Amino acid sequence: MKAVVMAGGEGSRLRPLTIRRPKPMVPIAGKPVMEHILNLLKRHGITEVVVTVQYLASSIEDYFGNGSQFGMHITYSREDVPLGTAGSVKNAEEHLTEPFLVISGDALTDYDLTDLIKYHNEKKSLATLLLAHVHNPLEYGVIITNEDGHITQFLEKPSWGEVFSDTINTGIYVLDPKIFTYFEKDKPFDFSQELFPMMLKQGDPIYGYIAPKGYWCDVGNLSEYMRANADALQGRVDIEIPAKNIGNNIWCEEGVEIDGSAQLYGPVYLAHDCKVRQGAIIHGPSIIGGYAIIDERAQIDRSIVWNNSYIGERAELRGAIVGTSTSVKGKAVMFEGSVIGDNSTIQDGAIIQPNVKIWPDKEIEAGAVVNTSIIWGSQGRRSLFSRHGVTGLVNVDITPEFATKIGAAYGAILARGATVCLNRDEHRTSRMIKRGINAGLPSAGVNVWDINQVPIPVARYFIRNTDAVGGVHVRVSPYDPRVVDIKIFDHNGLDINKTTERKIENLFFREDYRRVYMDEIGAINVLSDSDVCGRYMQGFNRTIKHEVIRERKYQLVVDYAHSSTILMLPQIFDDLGCEVIVLNTSRDEGAPSSPDDEGRAMQRLAAVTSALNMDMGIRIDPGGERIWIVDDRGRILDGMKLLAVMTSLFLRENRGGTVAAPVTAPSVLQHIAKRYDGYIQHTKVLPHALMTAAMREGVVLVGDGRGGFVFPSLQPAFDSMLAIAKLLELLATFEMRLSEVVDDLPAYYMSMTRVTCPWEHKGKVMRILSEQYRERRAKPIDGIKIDLGSEWVLVLPDADNPLFHVVAESTSNEQAQALAEKYARVVSGLQQ
C-alpha cells in the first residue's frame, strides 16, 4: 500500500517557529516531525510515499530528497495554491490507483497502521477514518459511530454546547481511489468538511476505527508542540530517538560535552555537539539542539533550544522555546510560553514576559522588559514605566534619542505654554539624558526651568510652590550605576499617577508627538541654585526649631554617599550647631561611581560612630530622599525600627495624631500609637500611595519602613534633610538619647521572603487566597493580609516582577520565619 503524507501546512499557530520552515519540519526529539511519520510508515511496511507540499516546499524536498537515505521512495506533489486536504490528494491521483493511506506530516503518532488497514479491508469500506478520544474536542471534528463502526454523524469544530462525544478525527484515513470521482481536480476541496459528509449523505460505506491503544498529538500550536516533545522524552509515544540514554533519562547524541558541575534532571535531550558549561542546571523535559551552548550557571527548565543557539551566563528559560541561531545573553530571562524566532538576540538582563512571541531577526535591548509580541521592526522595548519611573541601561535602553522622545511625549500631554522643571544628579550620563529631554519638551510648546542639580526633595518643593505644572529628575540609579532613572513629577511635586503614565506611554509608542510652529517653541531658562534652594530653605526653616537643636550641640557622623545633599546639608548642620565628621563627600562627574555596598557602608558608619562616642551616625541616599541611622551605642537601625522610633517621637509631640505607614509595617506601631492616643493609617507600599497619604487630614508623619519619611508640615514628599533635622529636634525636645527611644520600643519580630510566580498565575493565586482566607482577611489595602490573632502574614504581588513578597510577624524570630516560609509554600502550591 502507498501512503500520502500531507505536508503543505503553513503552521500559522506555531509562528514564529514556522516563519522559515513548514510545519512538518519542526523538530521533535532530534528529528523533524515528518521524519517520525515516515519511520512509522516504514515500520508498518509502507515505503512508497507521495508527499503533498505547498508552503516552503523546497525545505521538505531538500531534506528528504527521493527518500533513499530513509529507506523509502518519495514522490512530491506540489500545489501552487492551497487546495484543501482532499484537493491536495487529488493532485496526486495519478500515483494512487489502489487503496492508499493518508496521514498528516505534522502530527505525532504511533498508531498501529497495520490494524487500521486490516479493519478497512474487513469492512470493505470506501473510507476508513482513524478516530481518537481527547479531553478537549473543540478544535477537532467530532465523529459519531454506531456499534458496527459505521459513521453516522460529523460535527466540525463544535462549541461546548454541541459536544456530545470526545471521539475526534485524527486526519489518518484509508481511502479507495473511487473517492476521486466525487470532486474535480485543481479546485479546493476538504475531506472532513465536504467529502465525508457527502459520502455519508449518499450512504457510502464509511467507517471509523477507534484504535485500542496508541498516541496521537496534533502539533497544531505551541503548547501542543511542547507537549509532544515532553511526551516523546517521557516514552509516552513509540518513536525512534536518535540518541543514547546515558542514565536518569538523559539522552545524548555524539559530541555532547557536559561539565562535571552541571546538574541535569531528566528527561533531557542533548543533540550532537552541544555544550553544557560549569554550574548550568537543566530540568526536564527539555531539549537542547545541535551545537547549542548552555553557558555557566544558566538555568533551563522545561524548555526547548534549537540548533546553534546560545544561552548566556545565568540566563533563565522557564517553559520557553528558543529558535535556531539565537542568542539569549547573560542574566536574560524567558518566562512561560515565550518564544524567540530564528537569528534573534536577547541582550543581557532582558526579560521576555509570559506568552510573548518574538519574530525572527529581532534584537531585544539589554535590560528591556518585553510585554507584547514583536512582529515588525527589528527591536523591542519594555513597557515604559516601572516603580522608579522610566528606567534602563544608559546608552542601551536610555539613549539621547529616547530621552528626546520622552520629553516630546510628556510635553504633548501638557498645555502649550506650560512650564516644567528639569533637574538631574551630578553624573555626566544624567546630564546627557537631561539635555535630550530638554530638547523634546520645547518642541511640544512647553517651557523649561532648568534647576540644575538640586536634591530631589528640593526639586519637588520648588515645583509645588511655583507655577510649574510638573517636573523631571534624571539620576543614575542608586541600585545600579549602569542604570538611569527618569522620574516625572506632577504639579504637587509627587510622582505622576498611572493614568498620566499611560498617556505618556501611548504617545511615546505611537510617536504621536505635538510639534508646534516655530513661534510657539518653548523657552529654556536656567535658574540659579540660590533661587531654588533658597525657596526650599525658607520652608525648611519655618518647620524646624533651630534653638532647641543648637542647645543640644549634637556630634554626628554623616555619610553623604556622594549625594546631592552635600550642596545644602553642611550649611544646615552649621546653622543647627552640630559638630559633624563627614564621609563620602566627593561628587565626580567623570563617571558614575558605584555606591558602596550598603551593608559594608553601614558597618563602617557604626564602627566610627561607636569608636568616637558620637550621638548618631547618618547615611543619606544619593537622591536625598532616605536616611539610614546608627544610634549612640553603635546599633544599626533597620528601616522598620527607625519608623517605630520616629512614630514614637512624633506621637509624643502630637498626641492624637495619625501616622501613615505601609501594610508591611509591624504591629508595634499600633502599640506605640495607643500610648499616645494616636492612630496608624495603613497604605499601599508604593511611594505614590505613601506621599498621597501625607495630604490627608490629621496625618503628622508618613514613613515607608525603608528610611523614607514625609512631613506634611513642609511638603508631601520624602525628604532626608528634614528627616534628620526633625529627628534631632524631637530628641532634644524630650531630652532623650536615640538609644533610649530604641530601648523603649515594644519588642516585635518580622520575617520576609519572596516566591517567584509566572505573571499569568498571579491573578489566580490572589483570587484563591482571597477566597480561602475570607474570614481571616484584614481590610483589603494592598495584597492579601491574613490576621492570625497574635501574628499576621501579608502576601503581596510585586508590581514589576513575576513574584510575590511574603511578610510575616509573630511572637519570635523563629516563629515569624516559620510563618513566612509556610505561606510561601502555600503561594507556590497555588500556582500548580
Q: Are 72 and 3 in contact (CB under 8 A)?
A: no
| Average pLDDT over every residue of 812-830 | 93
Q: Are 178 and 100 in contact (CB under 8 A)?
A: no
Q: What percent of the chain has pLDDT over 90?
A: 51
| Average pLDDT over every residue of 700-707 | 94
Q: What confidence tens digit (pLDDT) does each residue in 234-280 have?
A: 889 988 888 888 988 999 999 999 999 999 998 999 999 999 999 99
The number of folded domains in the chain is 5
- Spatial separation of the C-alpha atoms in residues 131 and 218, rounded to whole Å: 13
Q: Cis peptide before 82, with omega less than 30 degrees from 0? A: no
pLDDT in the model for residue 588: 55
Question: Pick from 350, 380, 410: which residue ends a domain?
Answer: 380
Question: Pick from 380, 412, 436: which residue ends a domain?
Answer: 380
Burial class of residue 574 in the structure, from the number of CB atoms within 10 Å of its CB (0-12 exposed, 13-18 middle, 19+ buried): exposed
One-letter amino acid of 521: I
Q: What confidence tens digit (pLDDT) does each residue in 93-142 have?
A: 888 888 899 998 888 999 999 999 999 988 888 889 988 876 655 556 57
Residue 230 lies in a domain: no
Q: Are 610 and 635 in contact (CB under 8 A)?
A: no
Residue 414 lies in a domain: yes
pLDDT in the model for residue 534: 92
Residue 236 lies in a domain: no
Q: Above 60 in pLDDT, residue 379?
A: no
SS3 track for 153-183: EEEECCCHHHCCCCEEEEEEEEECHHHHHHC
Q: Which domain range does residue 784 map to?
A: 749-830
Q: Are residues 516 and 551 in the same domain?
A: no
Q: Are residues 581 and 723 in the same domain?
A: yes
Question: Pick from 743, 767, 787: which residue ends a domain?
Answer: 743
Q: Are residues 509 and 556 in the same domain?
A: no
Q: Are 526 and 435 in contact (CB under 8 A)?
A: no
* 604: region left, alpha or beta (phi > 0 left; psi from -120 to 50 alpha): alpha
pLDDT in the model for residue 595: 45
Assign residue 74 the CATH number of its domain.
3.90.550.10
Pick the range with the lowest mean pLDDT from 179-183, 532-536, 789-793: 179-183
For 55, how many CA atoms within 13 A lie in the half-sphere containing its CB? Answer: 20
Residue 421 lies in a domain: yes
Q: Above 60 in pLDDT, residue 39?
A: yes
Q: Which of 748, 747, 731, 730 is nearest to 739 (CA)?
A: 731
Residue 471 lies in a domain: yes
Q: Above 90 in pLDDT, residue 19?
A: no
Q: Per-residue confidence at 392, pLDDT binned at 50, 70, 90?
A: confident
Residue 229 lies in a domain: no
- Mean model confidence pLDDT for the chain: 88
Q: Which residues contact 415 (CB under 8 A, 6 or more apart)?
A: 469
Q: Above 90 in pLDDT, residue 682?
A: yes
| Average pLDDT over every residue of 812-820 | 94
Q: Above 90 in pLDDT, residue 457?
A: yes
Q: Which of 447, 457, 458 is nearest to 420 (CA)?
A: 447
Q: Above 70 in pLDDT, residue 158?
A: no
Assign residue 773 the CATH number of its domain.
3.30.310.50
Q: Cis peptide before 27, with omega less than 30 degrees from 0? A: no
Q: Are residues 690 and 768 in the same domain?
A: no
Pick the range with the lowest mean pLDDT from 37-46, 361-370, 381-390, 642-651: 381-390
More confident residue, 94 or 733: 733
pLDDT in the model for residue 530: 84
pLDDT in the model for residue 136: 58
Residue 713 lies in a domain: yes
Q: Are residues 7 and 155 in the same domain?
A: yes
| Average pLDDT over every residue of 279-289 | 93
Assign residue 263 the CATH number of its domain.
2.160.10.10
- Spatial separation of the C-alpha atoms in residues 369 and 800, rounded to whole Å: 10
Pick the range with the lowest mean pLDDT from 384-388, 512-516, 635-639: 384-388
| Residue 112 CA from chain centroid, whole number | 44
Q: Which of 335, 345, 277, 281 is nearest to 309 (CA)?
A: 345
Q: Above 50 in pLDDT, residue 377?
A: no
Q: Are residues 391 and 512 in the same domain?
A: yes
Q: Are 723 and 710 in contact (CB under 8 A)?
A: no
Q: Are residues 583 and 730 in the same domain?
A: yes
Q: Are residues 606 and 720 in the same domain?
A: yes
Q: Lay out the sheet containing 385-386: strands in order across.
A: 385-386, 389-393, 483-489, 470-476, 419-424, 447-450, 524-526
Q: Are 196 and 127 in contact (CB under 8 A)?
A: yes
Q: Are residues 518 and 557 in the same domain?
A: no
Assign residue 548 the CATH number of its domain.
3.40.120.10
Pick the range with the lowest mean pLDDT from 73-77, 189-193, 279-283, 572-576: 189-193
- Spatial separation of the C-alpha atoms in residues 412 and 430, rounded to whole Å: 23
Q: Are residues 675 and 623 in the same domain?
A: yes
User: Three cell numbers at 271?
Assistant: 543533540
Q: Are residues 584 and 682 in the same domain?
A: yes
Residue 583 lies in a domain: yes
Per-state percent for the chain, helix, strand, coil, to nearest 5? 30, 30, 40
pLDDT in the model for residue 658: 95
Q: Are residues 139 and 84 in the same domain?
A: yes
Q: Which of 70, 61, 56, 46 is nearest to 11 (CA)?
A: 56
Q: Lay out the sheet containing 555-559: strands in order across.
A: 579-583, 555-559, 616-620, 627-630, 636-637
The DSSP code sequence of 572-609 is: HHHHTT-EEEEE------SSPPPPPPHHHHHHHHHHHH
Q: What confidence tens digit (pLDDT) does each residue in 464-498 have?
A: 999 999 999 999 887 777 789 999 999 999 999 88
